[in-house]
Amino acid sequence: MSDEFDEFEDMGPVDFLVIEFPGNRMTGKGLPMLLDLVDRGIVRILDLVFVRKDADGSVVGMTLRDFDADGELDLSVFEGSSSGLLGQDDLDEAGAALEPGNSAGILVYENLWAAPLARELRRGGAQLVAGGRIPVQALLASLEAEEAAGGTAAA
């Protein structure tokens, strides 16, 4: 077994997010929280890429300097966050979800907190066969519908 395979065998689950910034306006409000998650060893950033969707629908990659042109937002800590996992097809797919005139950050991260569990499950022969994410908005809508129907939501 190669060392590279051993490294992947010990990894936690890997997820991605596409975060849209209307009007190409990134405030940086979530950056301290992301840095805290990294500093505490909860997640490891594998890739962080920014794209812009122009009015004609074309998707263009952006550098961190493009986002930081006004000097208000220090993104230099993320420079070099590129594992090479994301290709142009991924950027185009993420861009398809954007409204023209908006930009997005595409974040690929490893869930370090889950690595020991994932490793032991794999060693026991288990494998992940499905996964997903339920958006908070969908949970809230479901709870509101349940309440409107006269049901009670579980605490």
| Tens-place pLDDT, residues 5-59 | 466 678 889 999 999 999 878 777 888 899 899 999 999 999 888 899 999 988 9
* Domain encompassing residue 118: 3-126
Residues sharing a CB contact under 8 Å with residue 32, sequence separation 6 or more, in sequence order: none
* Residue 138: inside a domain: no
Helix residue ranges, H only, the chain = 3-9, 31-39, 64-67, 88-96, 115-123, 136-148
Whether residue 80 is predicted with pLDDT greater than 70 in this model: the reply is no
Number of structural domains (the chain) is 1
Whether residue 2 is predicted with pLDDT greater than 60 in this model: the reply is no
Is 0.85 topped by the overall pTM? no
Whether residue 1 is predicted with pLDDT greater than 50 in this model: the reply is no
Residues sharing a CB contact under 8 Å with residue 151, sequence separation 6 or more, in sequence order: none
Q: Find out whether 104 and 41 touch, Cβ atoms under 8 Å.
A: no
* Residue 97: inside a domain: yes
Whether residue 102 is predicted with pLDDT greater than 90 in this model: the reply is yes
* Residue 145: inside a domain: no
Q: For residue 111, what pLDDT band results from cuts at 50, 70 and 90?
A: very high
Count CB atoms within 10 A of the CB of residue 132: 4
Whether residue 86 is predicted with pLDDT greater than 70 in this model: the reply is yes
The overall average pLDDT reported for the chain is 82
Q: For residue 151, what pLDDT band results from cuts at 50, 70 and 90?
A: low
* Residue 116: inside a domain: yes
Dist. CA 17–CA 1, nearest whole Å:
32
* Residue 30: inside a domain: yes
